[in-house]
């Protein structure tokens, strides 16, 4: 039953996140066509600042709330479950308001001296309310994950992403936004309104779920103790996320400066960043949605198995997730290597993305497995290891971008080099820590099978490409994508079944 629940919840998360990812991808395409490459580059400079403060407000809160909620829910202790949510909402709301007021007040300073582009002032001020909405929404999401009601946040995420597209198109049309500054501001106004809608829907469904569960007559715990139980879990994760986010934000902000130092004009530098980081990388990491969905369910699943000392199942699950991530990464590498120009043209209506896509897809297998390995360590309760490894990788990324970006022959390709090297470093360190305790059944023979299967997939797709290339680029792209991921799905099913019955 537990295994069925894991697979069921994983499928729900994958399906909903795929739909959400599609809407998000469509949104990024609409952004690129209304903003241009320069606008996407400017949009990408603001987002790390936003993520940094969001991390400070509610970093680690979703896994912390979900774990505490799961404990009380399993005991039918609805009184302390509700009290935990109440005290967490109050604490996070106060913290979010303080941070949002600070960002609003110092938006001019942040824009002028940190981002170094005054066109971002209004966008920074507009996203301040979103910080409050998303912090409160995180608590409700953690609650629903904890009580195993995955469908509610999944449905709301899908709805919010769809509504966000409608809002942005409406804002662009009604206000006739044309300049880079106005369209970027409109995009972040859309983000704020989307987070408000998501928060309202989560609150409504939370009240309904709370009423449905009813009330229990268990002894109530002190609210400060309940808050402490949440913070003791979320604080280490918050520190990890915040420090790595600071380093990541620093890396993002130094790239345009280092490009300028190589003799590239500022607007051109923003365009290059927008094309590589805001378009090509979106294409490469779209299938990562599947890995992230499984990782969300994996963390409580591993924790549950460890509490029962079912170590064989822990090793089985670890091997299963690593193989799924690796196969998806190889599939992405194969597809993006065959039709990089078509993907850029089909999705972003640009003919200058092919070289970027072709280069950064080399990192896909390493990046996918590395991401899964961090989730595995989280599920094993190795937060200190995650902090150490994340810091090493973030410093590595910062150094690589700082040193390589000014080299004119490399320029923005330093993003791709950094991704390859940091993914490899993180993966090696994480697997080393995992293998200290658990055996990972991933033999050289099996690894060779996956590589040969990827080569076979490449030959199949290349043959199909030559067959349909004379018809239309769109048909060619859709055919390659459909065939590639269909073959991967069939292969993944065989891998999962082998692990389940071995």
The per-residue pLDDT for range 428-457, each reduced to its tens digit, is 999 999 988 887 766 778 888 889 999 999
Share of the chain above pLDDT 90, in %: 39
pLDDT band for 151, please (50, 70, 90 cuts): confident
In this prediction, residues 252-279 reach a mean pLDDT of 87
Dihedral of alpha carbons 56, 59, 64, 65, sign: positive
Cβ atoms 147, 74 nearer than 8 A = no
Write the burial class of residue 313 (CB in 10 Å: 0-12 exposed, 13-18 middle, 19+ buried). Answer: middle
Q: Which of 63, 101, 24, 1 is nearest to 288 (CA)?
A: 24
CA distances from 308 to 67, 301, 320, 383, 466 (A): 16, 11, 19, 20, 54
In this prediction, residues 324-353 reach a mean pLDDT of 91
Alpha helices in 278-412 (DSSP H): 281-284, 288-307, 311-338, 340-348, 354-360, 364-379, 383-404
Total H helices, total E strands in the chain: 20, 0
Q: Is the pLDDT of residue 496 over 70?
A: no
Residue 441: the pLDDT is 67
424/148: higher pLDDT? 424
348/102: higher pLDDT? 102
Interatomic CA distance for residues 347 and 165, integer angstroms: 16
Dihedral of alpha carbons 280, 284, 290, 296, sign: negative
In this prediction, residues 108-116 reach a mean pLDDT of 92
pLDDT band for 1, please (50, 70, 90 cuts): very low
Q: Is the pLDDT of residue 469 over 80?
A: no
Q: Is the pLDDT of residue 67 over 90?
A: no
Residue 214: the pLDDT is 79
Mean pLDDT of the chain: 87
Cβ atoms 52, 245 nearer than 8 A = yes
Dump the DSSP string for 313-335. HHHHHHHHHHHHHHHHHHHHHHH
pLDDT band for 270, please (50, 70, 90 cuts): confident
Question: pLDDT, tens digit, for every residue of 402-424?
Answer: 999 999 889 999 999 999 999 99
Cβ atoms 417, 271 nearer than 8 A = no
Share of the chain above pLDDT 70, in %: 94
Q: Which of 410, 127, 99, 405 is nearest to 250 (CA)?
A: 405
Residue 498: the pLDDT is 59
**What residues does each domain of the chain span?**
15-261
pLDDT band for 4, please (50, 70, 90 cuts): very low
Neighbours of 11 (CB within 10 A): 14
Neighbours of 498 (CB within 10 A): 12
Predicted structure pTM score:
0.76
Interatomic CA distance for residues 270 and 276, integer angstroms: 10
Q: Which of 206, 195, 92, 210 is nearest to 141 (CA)?
A: 206
| 8-state DSSP, 405 | T
């Amino acid at each position: 039953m537990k295994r069925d629940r894991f697979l069921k919840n994983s499928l729900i998360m994958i399906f909903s996140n795929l739909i959400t990812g599609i809407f998000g991808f469509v949104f990024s395409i609409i952004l690129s066509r209304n903003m241009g490459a320069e606008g996407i580059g400017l949009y990408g400079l603001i987002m790390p600042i936003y993520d940094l403060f969001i991390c400070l407000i509610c970093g680690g809160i979703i896994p912390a709330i979900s774990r505490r909620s799961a404990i009380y829910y399993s005991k039918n202790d609805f009184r302390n479950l509700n009290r935990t949510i109440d005290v967490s909402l109050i604490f996070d709301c106060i913290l979010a308001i303080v941070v949002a007021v600070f960002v609003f007040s110092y938006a001019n300073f942040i824009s002028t001296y940190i981002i170094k582009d005054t066109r971002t002032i209004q966008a920074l001020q507009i996203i301040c309310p979103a910080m409050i909405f998303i912090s409160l929404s995180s608590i409700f999401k953690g609650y629903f994950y904890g009580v195993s009601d995955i469908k509610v946040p999944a449905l709301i995420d899908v709805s919010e992403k769809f509504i966000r597209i409608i809002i942005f198109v409406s804002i662009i049309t009604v206000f006739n936004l044309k300049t880079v500054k106005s369209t970027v501001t409109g995009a972040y106004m859309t983000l704020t309104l989307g987070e408000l809608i998501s928060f309202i829907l989560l609150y409504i469904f939370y009240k309904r779920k709370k009423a449905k569960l009813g009330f229990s007559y268990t002894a109530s715990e002190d609210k400060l103790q309940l808050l402490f139980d949440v913070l003791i879990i979320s604080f280490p994760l918050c520190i990890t996320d915040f420090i790595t986010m600071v380093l990541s934000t620093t890396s993002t902000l130094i790239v345009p400066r280092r490009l300028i130092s190589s003799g590239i004009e500022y607007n051109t530098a923003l365009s290059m960043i927008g094309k590589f980081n805001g378009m090509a990388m979106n294409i490469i990491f779209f299938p990562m949605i599947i890995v992230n969905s499984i990782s969300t369910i994996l963390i409580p699943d591993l924790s549950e198995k460890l509490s029962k000392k079912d170590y064989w199942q822990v090793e089985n699950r670890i091997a299963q997730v690593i193989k799924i991530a690796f196969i998806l990464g190889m599939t992405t590498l194969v597809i993006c290597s065959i039709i990089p120009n078509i993907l850029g043209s089909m999705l972003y209506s640009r003919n200058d993305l092919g070289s970027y896509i072709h280069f950064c897809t080399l990192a896909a297998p390493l990046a996918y497995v590395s991401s899964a390995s961090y989730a595995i360590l989280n599920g094993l309760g190795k937060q200190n290891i995650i902090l150490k490894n994340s810091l090493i990788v973030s410093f590595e990324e910062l150094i690589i971008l700082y040193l390589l970006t000014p080299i004119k022959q490399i320029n923005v390709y330093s993003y791709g080099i950094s991704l390859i090297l940091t993914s490899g470093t993180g993966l090696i360190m994480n697997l080393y820590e995992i293998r200290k305790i658990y055996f990972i059944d991933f033999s050289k023979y099996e690894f060779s099978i996956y590589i040969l299967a990827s080569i076979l997939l490449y030959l199949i797709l290349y043959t199909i490409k030559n067959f349909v290339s004379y018809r239309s680029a769109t048909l060619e792209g859709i055919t390659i994508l459909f065939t590639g991921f269909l073959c991967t799905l069939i292969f993944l099913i065989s891998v999962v079944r082998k692990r389940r019955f071995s």
